[in-house]
Amino acid sequence: MDLELSDEHAALRATVEDFAQKEVAPVIGDFYERGAFPYDLVRKMGAMGLFGLPFPEEHGGMGGDYFALCLALEELARVDSSVAVTLEAGVSLGAMPIFRFGTDEQKAAWLPQLAAGERLGAFGLTEAGGGSDASATRTTARVEDGEWVINGSKCFITNSGTDITALVTVTAVTGERDGRKQISAIIVPSGTPGFTVSEKYSKVGWAASDTRELAFDDVRVPVANLLGEQGRGYAQFLSILDEGRVAFAALAVGLAQGCVDESVRYARERQAFGHHLGHYQAIQFKIADMEVRAHTARMAYYAAAAKMLAGKPFKKEASIAKLAASNAAMDNARDATQIFGGYGFMNDYPVGRFYRDAKILEIGEGTSEVQRMLIARHLGLVATAA
């Protein structure tokens, strides 16, 4: 495995790093404090082609690959996770299901604007009371007079209520087969009658990203809005989630590395007891451990991405990457906050935001417990009844 970035990937990484440092870093703190969605930054990312990175040019994309998206996410998250998760969810959850499973007509209708970042897509899977058990879907959809009629609700849905949100793909029970729920995915355009988007959640972190609860009250959309095969919506989403975990890991690595960056800078500048903080071995060792975590997690998502792009099975590697990277992010955010002391508890400093943003990385796109369960399953360990 060649761990050196290609010239194309290296150039992309440098470009996004420059954008994050010059465009995102100076302004994101204000958006974060106000809980405001950074429309101008999203527009600029769209103009750079970031939302179209893994999609073919024929669909309005950049003709790159999924690893390119991961590199962009890492560099953005080194500065801010709200901006990074807006890109991650917009691509892996909003546009990717349509690219993977959509008809030619659906791709033509939606992908160009999603790949350009002009509009955002969302994926409505999680429901209150369901949590990690996504198969416990209670939202229903039935066919009536040539239309799907959808009833139910979803929660914690990213990018679902912005002014530029174009659609939400919703999982719903569309019948039963062999005594089991038949779950399908259906595209619901924003503004469809009966489709209600709640006010934004008040969140601990990711304050500048959009996350909402959705309600569907006899929402009617054409039967042609079925995404993929009827009854395969849950299976389709699981495959999307495998890819998304690699991207989520890259985002977590970015946060972990951002903690290192800020801690090194602070240790060189802050003086205590007549020396810079970096003079003291306790601080040196703490930052060294932080760098080890970030580096190790980066290698994990690189390995998962390499298998994915090679067309090889990568489910276990994706779970390892997601688990390792979210652990690294949480541990590094805690240590960075400790290094900064009281300043680390202030939102004026990036590490304060990093600390608030880190916890959700152990929950979103499959909790750490789910990742351990999946890894154990791949090792041949199966839970049995007592």
List the chain domain ranges: 7-120, 121-231, 235-378
pLDDT for position 271: 85
pTM above threshold 0.85? yes
DSSP state letter for 24: I
pLDDT of residue 272: 85
Q: Is the pLDDT of residue 383 over 90?
A: no
CATH number of 121-231: 2.40.110.10
Structure confidence at residue 385 (pLDDT): 52
Residue 179: pLDDT band with limits 50, 70, 90: confident
Q: Which band of pLDDT confidence, cut at 50, 70 and 90, is reported for residue 129?
A: confident
Please write the tens of the pLDDT for every residue from 185-207: 999 999 999 999 999 999 999 99
Work out the percent of the chain whose per-residue pLDDT is above 70.
97
Domains 7-120 and 121-231 share a fold: no
- Domain 235-378 top-level CATH class: mainly alpha
The mean per-residue pLDDT over the stretch 49-65 comes to 96
What's the confidence (pLDDT) of residue 132? Answer: 60
Cα–chain center distance at 319: 14
Inter-residue contact 251 to 361 (CB < 8 Å): yes
- Is 23 among the catalytic positions? no
In contact, 356 and 204? CB cutoff 8 Å: yes
pLDDT in tens, 3-14: 789 999 999 999
pLDDT of residue 134: 61
Distance of CA 127 to the CA centre of its chain: 18
CA angle 211, 214, 219 (to 5 degrees): 150
7-120: what CATH class? mainly alpha
Q: Three-state SS across 159-211? A: CCCCCCEEEEEEEEEEEEECCEEEEEEEEEECCCCCEEECCCCCCCCCCCCCE
Q: Report whether pLDDT(123) > 70.
A: yes
Q: What is the pLDDT of residues 180-190, one digit of tens each?
A: 889 999 999 99
pLDDT at 1: 56
Using pLDDT thresholds of 50, 70 and 90, give the confidence band for residue 218. Answer: very high
306-357 pLDDT, tens digit per residue, is 999 999 999 999 999 999 999 999 999 999 999 999 999 998 899 999 999 9
At 237 the pLDDT is 87
Q: Across-strand partners of 212?
A: 157
**Predicted local confidence at residue 119, as pLDDT:** 98
What percentage of the chain reaches a pLDDT higher than 90? 87
* pLDDT score, position 177: 83
**Mean per-residue pLDDT of the chain:** 94
